[in-house]
Every structure is written in C-alpha cells, then in structure tokens.
C-alpha cells in the first residue's frame, strides 16, 4: 500500500493496524528498566493515567518508534507469565488471530507460528522465538523477563497472499508488587505489523495496540487456569 491515503482510508487502515499491533502485543528483550522506570533519557513519555504510562523512542535506521508501556495488573506475576506462555489461547481473545501453532516448547523457550486475517490489509503471519529468564530477590519473590524475536526460517514457508512479518521484537518485565499479589508489567514493542502503511499510521496503531493489550490481559487473567500452577524457574 503506497501513495497518499485519503482521510477515510487513513482511518480504516489505522484501525486495522491497531488490531495487528494488538495481536503482536500479546507475545512477549530483557527489559533493563527497574520497577517500571524507562532505562535512559531516550524515552519520551506520550501518555499517563492511573493504569498505564506509555513512552516512545526512535531507533537508528528504523522509521517506526519503539514503544514502552508500564502498568499494573491485578494478579501475581507468575499468573501473568502463564498467560503469556499460553500461545494456544491467543485465538480466543486476540482479534483476527485465526491460527497459532507451537513448533517447539522447551523449559525457557517457545517457538510458535501465528496467522492473522485482518480485513483491508490482508493476511499476515510470523514465527517467533520467545525466551524467558527469572531473577530472584532477597525478599523471596521472583521477577520474570520475557523477550521475543522473529525466527521465520523455523516456521512454515511463506504462503501466497500472506504477508510475512519480519520486524516484530519486544519484551515483558514482570515485577512482583503488593507482597506478590499484583504485577508491575513493563512492556516493550518494535513492530511494523508487516508494513504496507505509513510510519505515522503504524506508530499510532502500535500505541493504541499497547492500550488494548493491557486491557485484554486484565480481562483474560481472571480465568482460573492461569493460576493453577506456577511456571518452572
């Protein structure tokens, strides 16, 4: 998709890009921030309310802004980690996700394929490697760090008519708060959702997608299956 967009097309395509960014926000680089504070002055705050703060920064050679969001989730961080690891559930609450497939699952790594079928911009897919680390604290609590990156060579071959996403990397840092009863989540994302839209539209879509992501997780986390057992350290 190229050239100048009409005002109506910008709105429509921006809405679709929001959905694409939302899905890839469900996936989860080791975040260097501590207790939710951006790690350096490159980050510029875009918005802040009682439940979520969003920051952005430029990346050299990339027209897309990298985003970081910090917000509380009303569940233990190990429960949030279980939700992130539950790739099989993504089609049930991630818009336009029509297929997920676990290619390989190890103790601290999941390689999975995701297929999306949003309107207007057409089908998209990506294979990602999601790796996890833990950090023990003196008070006995544990933090979880999750990072992902595309590994399309390990997934299915490209399909005709399906746009392959090649820029999709980010992270979660899940810190325990309130004595371990709640989570302070720091989320970082850099993706173009497969491209095909102007950078400013993708930036807007990614920002909206981050907000939608936290809302979806706060709703989905209430399902009891995520709190049945702690993930292995």
Residue 28 lies inside a defined structural domain of this protein:
yes
Q: Are 216 and 93 in contact (CB under 8 A)?
A: yes
Residue 152 lies inside a defined structural domain of this protein:
yes
pLDDT at res. 2: 34
pLDDT at res. 201: 87
Split into its structural domains, the chain has a count of 1
H-assigned helices in the chain = 7-25, 77-85, 90-93, 199-220
Integer Cα distance of 174 and 71 in angstroms: 10
Residue 2 lies inside a defined structural domain of this protein:
no
Residue 114 lies inside a defined structural domain of this protein:
yes
* Token output for 220: 């989905």
Residue 60 lies inside a defined structural domain of this protein:
yes
pLDDT at res. 33: 38
Residue 233 lies inside a defined structural domain of this protein:
no
pLDDT at res. 38: 52
Domain that holds residue 199: 7-225
Cross-strand partners of 27: none
Residue 210: which CATH number?
3.30.530.20
pTM: 0.81
pLDDT at res. 7: 40
Residue 1 lies inside a defined structural domain of this protein:
no
Which residues touch 217 (CB under 8 Å, ≥6 apart)? 73, 80, 83
Query: Per-10-residue mean pLDDT for the chain, 233 residues long?
Result: 38 47 44 45 89 94 95 97 94 84 94 85 91 90 95 96 94 95 96 88 86 91 94 77
Residue 230 lies inside a defined structural domain of this protein:
no
């Amino acid at each position: 998709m190229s050239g100048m967009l009409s005002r109506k097309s910008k709105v429509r395509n921006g809405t679709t890009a929001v959905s694409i960014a939302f899905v890839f926000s469900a996936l989860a680089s080791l975040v260097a921030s501590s207790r939710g504070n951006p790690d350096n002055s490159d980050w510029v705050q875009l918005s802040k309310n009682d439940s979520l703060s969003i920051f952005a920064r430029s990346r050299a050679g990339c027209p897309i802004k990298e985003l970081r969001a910090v917000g509380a989730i009303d569940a233990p961080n190990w429960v949030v980690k279980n939700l992130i690891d539950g790739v099989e559930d993504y089609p049930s609450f991630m818009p336009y996700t029509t297929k997920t497939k676990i290619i390989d699952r190890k103790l601290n790594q999941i390689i999975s394929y995701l297929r999306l079928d949003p309107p207007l911009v057409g089908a998209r897919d990506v294979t990602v490697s999601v790796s996890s680390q833990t950090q023990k604290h003196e008070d006995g609590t544990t933090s979880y760090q999750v990072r992902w990156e595309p590994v399309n060579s390990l997934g299915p071959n490209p399909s005709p008519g399906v746009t392959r996403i090649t820029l999709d990397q980010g992270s979660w840092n899940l810190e325990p708060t309130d004595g371990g009863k709640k989570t302070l989540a720091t989320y970082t994302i850099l993706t173009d959702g497969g491209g095909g839209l102007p950078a400013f539209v993708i930036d807007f879509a990614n920002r909206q997608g981050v907000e939608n992501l936290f809302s979806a997780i706060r709703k989905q986390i209430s399902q009891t299956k995520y709190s049945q057992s702690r993930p292995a350290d």
